[in-house]
Amino acid sequence: MEKEREIWFEATADTKVDTIDKVCQLNYSTIYIDYRHFSLLGKIQLPQRMELAVLVSEMADVENLVKEPLFKKVKYIVANNLKLLQQTKVKLNGQNIKIALTINVKDRETLDQTVELVNSVDLVIIEFKDPTNIPLELILATTQLTSCQVFKKVRTAEDGEVSLMTMEVGSDGIVLSTNQVQDIIRFSETVSRSKIKKFELREGVVKKIRHTGMGSRVCIDTTSELYQDEGMLLGSTSSGGILTCSETHFLPYMNLRQFRVNAGGLHLYAWVPGDRAVYLSDIKAGDEVYIVNSKGEARVVTVGRLKIESRPLLYIECEVDGTILNTFIQDDWHVRMMGGKGEIRPSSEIKIGDKLLVHLDVPGRHVGLKILETIREV
- Rounded CA separation 255/91 (Å): 61
Per-residue model confidence (pLDDT) at position 131 = 67
Cα–Cα dist 126/178, whole Å: 16
* CATH placement of domain 6-195: 3.20.20.70
- The SS3 of residue 205 is strand
pLDDT digits over 23-60, tens only?
Answer: 999 989 999 999 999 999 988 889 999 999 999 999 99
* Residue pLDDT, tens place only, 273-330: 888 899 999 999 999 999 999 999 998 899 999 999 999 999 999 999 999 999 999 9
**DSSP-derived secondary structure for 307-365:** EEEEEEEEEEEEEETTEEEEEEEESSTT-EEEBTTS-EEEGGG--TT-EEEEEE----E
**Which residues does 184 contact at the CB level (< 8 Å), separation at least 6?**
9, 19, 22, 23, 26, 157, 176, 178
The dihedral sign for the CA sequence 121, 122, 126, 132? positive
Share of the chain above pLDDT 90, in %: 60
CA distance 108 to 300: 43
Comma-separated ranges of CATH 3.20.20.70 domains in the chain: 6-195
Residue 1 pLDDT? 41
Q: Between 103 and 336, where is the model more confident?
A: 336
- Residue 24 is predicted with a pLDDT of 93
Contact, 260 vs 224, CB < 8 A? Answer: no
pLDDT of 141: 67
Per-residue pLDDT reduced to its tens digit, 255-287: 889 999 999 999 999 999 888 899 999 999 999
pLDDT tens across 63-98, in order?
Answer: 999 999 999 999 999 998 888 988 998 999 878 899
C-alpha span between 6 and 325 (Å, rounded): 37
Task: Tell me the C-alpha distance between 30 and 149, whole Å.
Answer: 15
> What's the average model confidence in pLDDT over 118-122?
72
Q: pTM score, two decimals?
A: 0.62
Beta strands in 149-250 (DSSP E): 149-154, 173-176, 197-198, 202-222, 230-237, 240-245
> What is the rounded CA–CA span in Å between residue 121 and residue 98?
10
Rounded CA gap, 71 and 39, in Å?
A: 12
Long-range (24+ apart) CB contacts under 8 A made by 283-290 are 283/218, 283/220, 289/220, 289/222, 289/232, 290/197, 290/199, 290/232, 290/233
